[in-house]
């Protein structure tokens, strides 16, 4: 999150506080309008502010979640690609191991007569 120009959690927390404050004010204004019906413009202003705050809260909540989901998808795709590359590498190492075993067997076949002679000469000495 260090590369983000803002802290989404702090933005979410701030938006929630603002939305709760505006919601409380709008609710109080609606109760006041219901009792007196003298200030309908104030009630409309409060409701407009509430709608704006709720919109900001929704944006602050959704954007970080969308970013998080997009990053998780990137990680999943990267892990799938890594698994494919590792499977290819495992196949290559298996082939290399078989070839190395064949080379060792060939070396054993070539050196067996020489080692046999050396062992016989040592026994004769």
Instruction: Confirm whether 2 is domain-assigned.
Output: no
Instruction: Confirm whether 60 is domain-assigned.
Output: yes
CA distance linking residue 48 with residue 57, whole number of Å: 14
Helix, strand or coil for residue 6?
coil
Instruction: Confirm whether 30 is domain-assigned.
Output: yes
Does pLDDT of 89 surpass 50? yes
CA distance linking residue 113 with residue 11, whole number of Å: 80
CA angle 106, 110, 115 (to 5 degrees): 130
Domain span at residue 19?
8-124
CA distance linking residue 116 with residue 111, whole number of Å: 8
The size of the chain, in residues, is 125
CA distance linking residue 110 with residue 83, whole number of Å: 40
pLDDT of residue 1: 46
- What confidence tens digit (pLDDT) does each residue in 46-77 have? 777 777 777 777 777 777 778 888 999 999 99
Instruction: Confirm whether 43 is domain-assigned.
Output: yes
Instruction: Confirm whether 119 is domain-assigned.
Output: yes
CA distance linking residue 77 with residue 116, whole number of Å: 57
pLDDT of residue 125: 65
pTM confidence score: 0.47
Contact call for residues 12 and 64 (beta carbons, < 8 A): yes
Q: How many domains does the chain have?
A: 1
Instruction: Confirm whether 117 is domain-assigned.
Output: yes
């Amino acid at each position: 999150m260090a590369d983000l120009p803002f802290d989404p959690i702090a933005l979410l927390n701030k938006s929630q506080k603002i939305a709760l404050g505006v919601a409380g004010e709008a609710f109080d204004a609606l109760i006041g309008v219901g009792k007196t019906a003298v200030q309908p413009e104030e009630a409309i202003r409060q409701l407009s502010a509430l709608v704006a705050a709720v919109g900001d809260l929704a944006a602050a909540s959704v954007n970080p979640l969308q970013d998080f989901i997009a990053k998780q998808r990137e990680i999943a795709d990267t892990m799938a690609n890594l698994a494919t590359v590792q499977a290819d590498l495992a196949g290559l190492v298996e082939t290399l191991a078989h070839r190395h075993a064949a080379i060792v067997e060939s070396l054993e076949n070539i050196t067996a007569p020489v080692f046999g002679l050396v062992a016989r000469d040592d026994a004769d000495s």
